[in-house]
Amino acid sequence: MQTDAFRALLPLAAPPEDLPPALAALWWDAKGEWARAHQLVDSLETPEGMAVHAYLHRKEGAAWNADYWYQRAGRRFHRPELEAEWAALVEGLTG
C-alpha cells in the first residue's frame, strides 16, 4: 500500500481490519480520535509503534513524553510540522 492508497481509506467509517496497528493508529489520528490512536500503540513494542507513539505524545503537547518514545524508537526528534511528520510516518509504514 502506498501513501495515496492509505489516504483514500480515510473516508471509511473504520480502518480495514488487516491494517497494521501503527498505521491504524495514524488512521484514527487523522480522524481526530487521538485516544483511540494512542490505545493502539500504547503497548506496541516495535520501532514503528514507538515512533507513532512519540508522534501522538508530541501532538498531545507532551514533548518530554514524545522525546522518551522517540529515543525508544531509535529516532531523533527533528520537530518537523505535525502534518509533515504524520505524512512521513505514513510513507515509512506504507513504502
pLDDT tens-digit profile of 38-58?
A: 999 999 999 999 999 999 999
pTM: 0.93
pLDDT tens digits, residue range 50-82? 999 999 999 999 999 999 999 999 977 666 899
- What integer pLDDT is reported at residue 77 of this predicted model? 63
Q: How far is it, in rounded angstroms, from Cα 5 to Cα 94? A: 9
Counting residues of the chain whose pLDDT is more than 70, the rounded percentage is: 95
Q: Which residues contact 26 (CB under 8 A, 6 or more apart)?
A: 37, 52, 86, 89, 90, 93
Please say if the pLDDT value at position 21 is more than 90. Answer: yes
